[in-house]
Structure 1
């Protein structure tokens, strides 16, 4: 019962609606503009550029600008790498290799840049999704779309400065240096993300399931958390929330929405995701799932049944791999601690 209560517990709100509105507008407005100008082929670049608004959600305005600036720069680097790799016509294994590199390097970058959310989940998603898109638009157009969307997100992040009661002090805060132990932990995190990603992606590829990178994204979810139990709970929440989200996605996709209606659904799901992502991860996944799948359908229409099947299978594989990595690392650390304790006891015994 304790585990169930923790999995389904909803944390108190913390002005989540403010960040949710910014993120919904930051994603919805660029997509509507591209739709009305007939350039929906650039939607994927705008979507991932808009992810900049997810970072630094509750920080003072000056810190938020710096935080989102670093996050936007990293996302643009990932988008550029993905667009260049797409021109190499990577096969499924090439996607696994490239995405694994992004998983490790992205985690290290977010660690040293102190980005929140931590890890490289969004970068994995961005790289694999963009690099898998056939018939890429001209590179300069895709990157210009991403840059403009990042800039729009930065402006939205500062929009609270226009309202007196929401305005924060424009003061600089010094960031402390990393200790040697902290730097080592960042590199270890990068290795864990890369390991989970390559294992999940390899399994999905060997099984011949489409969208193998969804498994790689899901595998990184359990790697975030203060304790082993919390990390395993996140993996279970990912599975439960995704399957709830698949039911919601079916209700959205099967009626056959018009593109402009899909954009409104995407913006609404982005709002819902930001409302609950910090409070109840499983509930957030119920809206994150249609957010991801409707975005995919908007850019590249496909068979909805196949899309839903792939998402469900990939999530099961990825979450299981991620939880297995968490448990394996925990058991390894426990073994090393016990071994160190026995050695210390032996040394004390010899001295006596």
Structure 2
């Protein structure tokens, strides 16, 4: 007589329940859409901040410098819902770091060996940017924009003139963004007025040891992603470096995994939109207007669902690349997809390894 199969033990059942709960939680977080939370005000500021510099560059025949302006304009996304004085202060600090990143990227681009030189330089800036972000309580946290700015600008062949342009255009865009933010507050924009008497959102307390860990993992992830992609000969290694730090913006494993999945899914669907826009091959002014509209729409979505925002971030990034340094559409799309997947995988591996080495911490750091 065949003995009955042993029933599931209590520990086994508990593990199964835990896995099921985690899977359900992961699925929910992937598709969840957050509240609007006044995103239209941020979208308008961000769109205006990027529109004026790009239109000036187009009007003067220097649209090839558009990347420098766009990265400087990213200062507008910091402290999005803070009272305007606190917002301008955070944007000034983050913007100064962005302008420096743009300029150093252009300096790296002077070298014939810029592809390899960019990797350690960007990794170092990622680590320092992480420290600054934790120290100042930047929102959004982490060195993502630093990595994007320095990595992308280092890939655009440069001369002494373009280094000066990177400094002036990047810094000018930051300054204009601060003016837009301040004027929006002083004119009594609804969100700013509602928060005038309120204290700014206090930055999360980060212990010095955790600041160091965050910096190390950011630097290692960027160094690993950039090194592997460059060694493999895949174009645009900075896309892998950016994608590697995306999961690390989250402090816990599940949110990091969600961000990684969002990055891959949103990018791959966004490539279809980008392909259509690149195939149309719009003239310079139309590209500028598309970038402005896309930037505004990104800010409407990015805090609600990162994957949805990436449907627009992807064509926005590819349009910027084509304006600054045109190349075949197929190569561009292939590189973006492959580098995104590579970077996310390596970033998650770095985060997982850090968590294993620091078992007492609930964070990825």
1:90 to 94, 113, 128: 113
Pair 1:67-2:127 in alignment: no
Structure 2 spans left out of the alignment, 5+ residues: 1-23
SS of residue paired to 2:246: helix
Does the C-alpha gap of structure 1 residues 98 and 226 become closer, same or farther in structure 2, counting only changes over 3 Å? closer
Pair 1:125-2:151 in alignment: no
Contact 2:83 / 2:198 at 8 angstroms: preserved in 1?
no
Aligned residues: 335
Does the C-alpha gap of structure 1 residues 314 and 178 become closer, same or farther in structure 2, counting only changes over 3 Å? closer
1:9 CA displacement: 0.5
Contact 1:107 / 1:193 at 8 angstroms: preserved in 2?
yes
Q: Distance in 2 between matches of 1:92 and 1:143?
A: 21
1:167 CA displacement: 4.5
Q: Which residue of 2 aligns with 1:143?
A: 167
Q: Which residue of 2 aligns with 1:157?
A: 181
Q: Which residue of 1 aligns with 2:56?
A: 33
Q: Which residue of 2 aligns with 1:80?
A: 103
1:330 CA displacement: 2.3
Q: Which digits, 9 at most, give the CA deviation of each residue in 1:282-321, with x for residues without a partner?
A: 1111111111110111111110110000000000000011
After TM superposition, which residue ranges in structure 1, 4 or more long, deviate above 4 angstroms? 164-167, 169-179
Q: TM-score, normalised by structure 1?
A: 0.89
Does the C-alpha gap of structure 1 residues 276 and 177 become closer, same or farther in structure 2, counting only changes over 3 Å? closer
> What is the CA RMSD across the aligned residues, in angstroms?
2.1
1:250 CA displacement: 0.5
Counterparts of residues 331-350 of structure 1 (less than 5 Å)? 331-334=356-359
Q: Distance in 2 between matches of 1:265 and 1:120?
A: 26
Q: Distance in 2 between matches of 1:47 and 1:328?
A: 34
Pair 1:286-2:311 in alignment: yes
1:92 CA displacement: 2.1
Stretch of structure 1 that moved more, 65-74 or 90-99: 90-99
Does the C-alpha gap of structure 1 residues 259 and 225 become closer, same or farther in structure 2, counting only changes over 3 Å? same
